[in-house]
């Protein structure tokens, strides 16, 4: 049924060109479920989308399993009737400070002088045999490039004549406890749903908004959410740096609440509706004006509070700049440790809910430079190649959700291609590998 010794299997032969993929993005502020189809060119057709305010999470980690499960129940209700089919598989985004990454090297001796799938897999397995932080386990092993007999860098060694094959990989690990907590929250709501993969949200957001050209000339994706900031840096189409920070837009909301004595819910509303990334980015007319905000007084009466727009913008700018400086420092440290010279020709791309802040790219263009006085390219990333279920245009806050679908399609393609590449008489035939995978996954 599936041809051997070929590249990707055609859509007609595979029969799953537009198979439904379901992703769940569990964020600190919002829970999102998305279902859609991704064609061979990466175009996404979203068939179903729903979001629900989140509870029971702090900086991307589960803080109250029962509160989270209650909100997931509201999110996942009536999913199957809307889809018109069973909801029994999904991909789940994972983020936060517990995310760690490293670049590693693996090697293997070629058994029959021609590199087989088994030889390639063997060198990847050797690369992943590294000591991780206690409690962490690997969720991604992403090959950057291969070499055969110390030759030049190649993208696919299968079928090449060689005595040895080497690989350079990017390894991402996460806290096993946090993964188990997220799994438990889903299982409490719908025990029949299997989580196929946990996906680092930095990769998902990158898959949603970045082009191959961006990744080729160098780009840094910053997914700036309410509780976490997740970063993925690419060069020559290779993921070379990734990490998560336990800070986000909620810190800015709290700073506004503390400065003006506001409830957190009101501070969040003001930030989202009137927030600007610095007083210098206000118009001359705005700079001299104030917001009139009604707040409950100590005696129960409603009081009117005046908040200068310039002062509010500077509070927001301070929080944003702190995060951007931290991201820049992390990238500089990682590049120095790896001994690489980063050339981010495509600059920085911002996604996540905080990326909706007015003029955020102008502040980031200064804050993300190493010297702090030059200006780098920064833009807000919008999911590309997407047709939404209600004909609207998804914003940067939906990048992770869209990226889960695109990642799910590429992951499925890799599984099929790996099965098709296995030579006749190898460790397993392509067909037997596929049968094993369907038994395990389906």
Q: What is the per-residue pLDDT across 252-303, written as a single tens digit (0 to 9) for each?
A: 999 999 999 999 999 999 999 999 999 999 999 999 999 999 888 777 788 8
Residue 24: the pLDDT is: 98
CATH class of the domain defined by 1-98+176-211+384-442: alpha beta
For residues 372-381, give the mean pLDDT: 82
Band of residue 425 on the pLDDT scale cut at 50, 70, 90: very low
- Specify the length of the chain in residues: 442
Backbone angles phi, psi at 332, to 5 degrees: -60, -45
Residue 370: the pLDDT is: 66
Which residues, 6+ apart, have CB-to-CB distance to 351 below 8 Å? 205, 208, 209, 221, 222, 223, 224, 380, 381, 396, 397, 399, 400
**Residues 189 and 52 sit within 8 Å (Cβ to Cβ):** no
Q: How far apart, in whole angstroms, are the C-alpha atoms of residue 167 and residue 125? A: 10
Backbone angles phi, psi at 209, to 5 degrees: -120, -20
**Residues 117 and 418 sit within 8 Å (Cβ to Cβ):** yes
Instruction: Locate 206 and state its tokens.
Output: 């990158």
Q: How far apart, in whole angstroms, are the C-alpha atoms of residue 154 and residue 385? A: 29
Residue 6: the pLDDT is: 36
Q: Look up the pTM and report it.
A: 0.88
Least reliable range by pLDDT among 16-25, 372-381, 384-393, 397-406: 16-25
Say if strands 136-148 and 164-175 run parallel, antiparallel, or are unpaired.
antiparallel
Task: Please give the CATH number for the structural domain made up of 100-175.
Answer: 3.30.1490.110
DSSP 227-272: S-EEEEEEETTEEEEEEEES--HHHHHHHHHHHHT--HHHHHHHHH
CATH class of the domain defined by 212-382: alpha beta
pLDDT one-digit tens code per residue, 217-245: 999 999 999 999 999 999 999 999 999 99
- Alpha carbon separation from 442 to 91, 194, 263 (Å, rounded): 14, 9, 47
Q: How far apart, in whole angstroms, are the C-alpha atoms of residue 438 and residue 397? A: 33
Q: Do domains 1-98+176-211+384-442 and 212-382 have the same CATH topology?
A: yes
Laid out side by side, the sheet with 44-53 consists of 194-200, 89-94, 20-26, 30-38, 44-53, 386-387
How many Cα atoms are found within 13 Å in the side-chain-facing hemisphere of 213?
A: 1
Query: Looking at per-residue confidence, does 150 or 397 come out higher?
Result: 397
DSSP 13-64: HHS-TT-EEEEEEE-SSEEEEEEEEE-TT--EEEEEEEEEE--SEETTEES-
SS3 call for 132 = coil
List the domain boundaries for the chain.
1-98+176-211+384-442, 100-175, 212-382
Q: How far apart, in whole angstroms, are the C-alpha atoms of residue 229 and residue 206? A: 13
């Amino acid at each position: 049924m599936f041809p051997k010794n070929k590249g990707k299997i055609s859509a007609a032969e595979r029969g799953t060109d537009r198979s439904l993929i379901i992703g769940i993005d569990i964020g600190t502020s919002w829970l999102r479920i998305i279902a859609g189809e991704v064609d061979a060119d990466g175009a996404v057709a979203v068939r179903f989308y729903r979001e629900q305010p989140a509870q029971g999470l702090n900086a991307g980690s589960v803080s109250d399993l029962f509160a989270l499960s209650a909100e997931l129940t509201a999110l996942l209700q009536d999913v199957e009737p809307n889809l018109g089919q069973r909801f029994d598989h999904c991909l789940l985004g994972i983020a936060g400070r517990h995310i760690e990454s490293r670049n590693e090297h693996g090697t293997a001796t070629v058994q029959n002088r021609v590199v087989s799938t088994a030889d390639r897999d063997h060198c990847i397995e050797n690369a992943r045999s590294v000591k991780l932080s206690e409690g962490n386990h690997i969720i991604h092993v992403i090959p950057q490039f291969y070499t055969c007999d110390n030759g030049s860098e190649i993208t696919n060694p299968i079928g090449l004549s060689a005595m040895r094959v080497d690989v350079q990989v990017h390894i991402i690990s996460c806290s096993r406890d946090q993964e188990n907590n997220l799994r438990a929250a889903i299982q409490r709501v719908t025990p029949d749903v299997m989580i196929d993969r946990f996906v680092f949200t930095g990769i998902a957001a990158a898959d949603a908004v970045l082009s191959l050209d961006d990744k080729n000339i160098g780009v840094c994706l910053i997914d700036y959410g309410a509780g976490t900031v997740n970063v993925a840096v690419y060069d020559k189409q290779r993921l070379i740096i990734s990490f998560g920070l336990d800070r986000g837009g909620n810190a800015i909301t709290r700073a506004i609440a503390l400065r003006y004595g506001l409830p957190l819910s009101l501070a969040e509303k003001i930030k989202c509706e009137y927030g600007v990334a610095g007083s210098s980015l206000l118009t001359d007319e705005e700079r001299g004006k104030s917001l009139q905000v009604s707040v409950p007084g100590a005696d129960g009466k409603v009081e009117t509070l005046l908040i200068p727009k310039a002062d509010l913008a500077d509070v927001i700018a301070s929080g944003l700049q702190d995060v951007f400086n931290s991201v820049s420092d992390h990238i500089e440290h990682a590049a120095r440790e790896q001994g690489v010279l980063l050339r981010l020709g495509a600059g920085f791309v911002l996604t996540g809910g905080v990326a909706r802040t007015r003029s955020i790219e102008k502040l980031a263009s200064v804050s993300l430079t190493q010297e702090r006085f030059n200006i780098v390219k920064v833009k807000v990333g919008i999911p590309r190649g997407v047709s939404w279920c209600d004909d609207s245009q998804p914003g940067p806050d939906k990048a992770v959700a869209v990226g889960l679908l695109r990642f799910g399609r590429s992951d499925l393609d890799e599984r099929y291609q790996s099965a098709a590449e296995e030579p006749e008489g190898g460790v397993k035939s392509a067909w037997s590998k596929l049968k094993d995978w369907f038994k395990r996954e389906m």
